[in-house]
Structure 1
Amino acid sequence: MRTYHLETLGTIDGVVARETARPEPGPREILVRVRAVSLNKRDLMIMKGTYPLRAVPDVIPVSDGAGEVVAAGGEVTRFVTGDRVAGTYFPNWLDGRITPDLLDQPGATLDGMLTEYARLDQAAAVRVPDHLTWEEAACLPCAGVTAWHSLTGGEPLAPGQTVLTLGTGALSLFAVQFAKMLGARVVATTSSAAKADRLKALGADHVVDYTRHPAWGSEVRELTGGRGADLVVETNGPDTVEQSMRATALYGQIVLLITGNPRRPGIEISHAAYASSLATIRRVFVGSRTHFESMNRALALHGTRPVVDRVFGFGPDEVREAFSYYESGAAFGKVVIRVD
């Protein structure tokens, strides 16, 4: 079978293809014929050696993938041959709060999904909704679960409340879809009229162009009658958290996903912005298997589909092109590699 390994950190060329033997599942493991994988920012960070968790040598990269169970160990009870599944982002985090001993991740400390066949513990997989294609199902484990956890993991979001999303990254697009699913009004920010139209088509009620309105927090307040957003999915951290705080309702929630970047190592909020609010800042790091299963039930009930930007092939040149395209930031939605 063909599988990819991260041989050298710091370059896309460090991800190389090999022919290896097809693995056999252990007693409590399933063997998944991977049909598609999708890329996330953390995959680039791992490749560059800047992710908080160091990759184990020669790891199979990429956390997100979906496929069909083709074999199962004798003690497997959760799945049967033919089931459509995706791997979880944290294989050992099943429910409740995450703890330091549950941080292992595929594509970093464990082998990932950029391979024709992946061997998973039965506890580290979930069934995917029947209405999704393989390419769509591969988009769920990181961005999808993070967005779902952001909206459902804190104080309950009531119908009619306002959710603010930032930009057009895959996670923000999931947040728009899920917020509408939960009955919320959505205000989104973006930088172009074309993206604004696509956000509105996806369900956003209002879109603010942050290039025309650098102090876009006040624009969000105006659109909400002075109240502000009840929940902000804060995907940019240091670059936007000041305006997010200014946009937040008095008792709103800010779900903080990013706390630093190469330009700004930490978040800073002015006294004026923070003193004007009683908002709660909540950190989210993807989610548990239970979050994943809950999200999948909602997706199936509403027939919601992830936004897929482009699909690449599984050959070495196409895999490198997929990483390069994702790194360019041009995608509106997920970048997927089909494992043929």
Structure 2
Amino acid sequence: MKIMTLRSPAGLDNIAIAERDDPGTPPPGAIRVALHGSSINFHDLGVALGRMPTEDGRIPLSDGAGTVESVGEGVTEFAVGDHVVSCFFPDWQDGTPTIGDFSRTPGDGIDGFAQSHVVLPATAFTKAPKGYDSVEAASITTAGLTAWRALVVDGKLKAGDTVLLLGTGGVSIWALQIAKAMGATVAITSSSEDKLARARDLGADFTLNYRSEPEWGRKVADWAGGRGVDHVVEVGGPGTLAQSIDAVRVGGHISLIGVLTGIGGEVPTAALMGKQARLQGLIVGSRREQQDFVRALEATAIRPVIDRRFALDDLAEAFAFQQSGEHFGKIGIEW
């Protein structure tokens, strides 16, 4: 069967088409899935570029969705023909976090979903949201669930809350849609006026260009009545954290998700202490949280924003487009 592999040394030029034996029929507790779609994330790009070293020949992509073709003995949750979507942490089923690395994350520690078929434990999937195609469904695995956990699971978001989002990538646009569906008021930043206009079309209440307003944290706090926002979805990392702390209210919540500006840097500890804010790191979520998210999507009729779709053979081109920073929302891979 056809797969895409990442050859050493890592780099977009070393993403190649290859063949691998068909995985066959599922053993007890497993399902066979014909994959039809994925989406790419900053994490996937890091693996492809070698920033997160992995094995030679690794199959990339942590997101995957498709149709169940057969089920192993003892599987009752899924039936042939069901539309399913993968889990970022296939071993984290429920409860508080127990995994702090990517050793069992598809496309990183284990093979991912840039292939035509997989046979995996049934617990490595959930049902996809009704009415979603495979690219849309795959977009919930990493970016969508991260936004859901940040705001709803950890942040306890409620109607009337104020939320700050940084940029217009996959996590931030998912967070915008979730926050508006939950009755929150949302501020969002970008360096592109065109992207800010698109964010307003999706319901953003306050938009701010961080290039023309370098002290955007104070501006956002002023917009939120001078007290600051209740929640910040912090995807930038050390280069933006100080402004996020300025923007959050006393006793507010900052979800530390991204490292777009680097993996380490100075933390303004006095400012954070003075705000008495909760700064919480997180990586995606559990299978149970994904099932809850799917139910919420079906109840709210949210549809993901897919900027462009690429063929599986054009995976390297999709990553190059991601590197350009021109995308708004998610980038899909479809086959």
- Report the TM-score when normalising by structure 2: 0.95
Aligned to 1:66: 65
What's the CA shift string for 1:227-279, capped at 9, x where partnerless?
110000000011111010001011100111135855x62242263x3354111
Distance 1:30-1:196 versus aligned 2 partners, 3 A rule? same
Equivalent residues in 2 for 1:42-53, closer than 5 Å: 42-51=43-52
What's the CA shift string for 1:36-76, capped at 9, x where partnerless?
1111111111122222xx42332211000110001111222
Aligned to 1:28: 29
Aligned to 1:287: 285
Equivalent residues in 2 for 1:261-340, closer than 5 Å: 261-262=261-262, 265-269=264-268, 271=270, 273-315=271-313, 318-339=314-335
Indicate if the aligned counterparts of 2:235 and 2:259 stay in contact, CA closer than 8 A: no
Aligned to 2:124: 124
1:238 counterpart SS class: coil
Equivalent residues in 2 for 1:165-314, closer than 5 Å: 165-258=165-258, 261-262=261-262, 265-269=264-268, 271=270, 273-314=271-312
Per mean C-alpha deviation after superposition, the further-off stretch among 71-80 and 122-131 is 71-80
Equivalent residues in 2 for 1:84-103, closer than 5 Å: 84-100=83-99, 103=102
Whole-angstrom distance in 1 between the partners of 2:284 and 2:10: 25
Distance 1:10-1:170 versus aligned 2 partners, 3 A rule? same
TM-aligned CA deviation for residue 84 of structure 1: 0.2
Structure 1 counterpart of 2:318, which letter?
A: A
What's the CA shift string for 1:302-337, capped at 9, x where partnerless?
11011101001122xx22211211222111111111
Indicate if the aligned counterparts of 2:155 and 2:231 stay in contact, CA closer than 8 A: no
Whole-angstrom distance in 1 between the partners of 2:79 and 2:101: 26
What's the CA shift string for 1:57-113, capped at 9, x where partnerless?
322110001100011112222211100001100000011122248851001111110
Whole-angstrom distance in 1 between the partners of 2:303 and 2:231: 23
Aligned to 1:37: 38
Equivalent residues in 2 for 1:143-154, closer than 5 Å: 143-154=143-154
Q: Report how many residues are paired.
A: 333
Q: Deviation above 6 Å: which 4+ runs of structure 1?
A: none
Whole-angstrom distance in 2 between the partners of 1:6 and 1:61: 7
Whole-angstrom distance in 1 between the partners of 2:101 and 2:231: 28
Aligned to 2:137: 137
1:35 counterpart SS class: strand
2:279 counterpart SS class: strand
Structure 1 counterpart of 2:328, which letter?
A: F
Indicate if the aligned counterparts of 1:32 and 1:70 stay in contact, CA closer than 8 A: yes
Whole-angstrom distance in 2 between the partners of 1:23 and 1:228: 53
Whole-angstrom distance in 1 between the partners of 2:298 and 2:192: 32
Whole-angstrom distance in 2 between the partners of 1:196 and 1:10: 34
Q: Please provide the CA RMSD for this pair.
A: 1.7
Whole-angstrom distance in 2 between the partners of 1:155 and 1:209: 25
Indicate if the aligned counterparts of 1:3 and 1:114 stay in contact, CA closer than 8 A: yes
Distance 1:224-1:261 versus aligned 2 partners, 3 A rule? closer
Aligned to 1:113: 113
TM-aligned CA deviation for residue 150 of structure 1: 0.3
Whole-angstrom distance in 1 between the partners of 2:207 and 2:220: 9
- Report the TM-score when normalising by structure 1: 0.93
Indicate if the aligned counterparts of 1:31 and 1:69 stay in contact, CA closer than 8 A: yes
User: What residue ranges of structure 1 are gaps of 5+ in the alignment?
Assistant: none
TM-aligned CA deviation for residue 12 of structure 1: 1.0
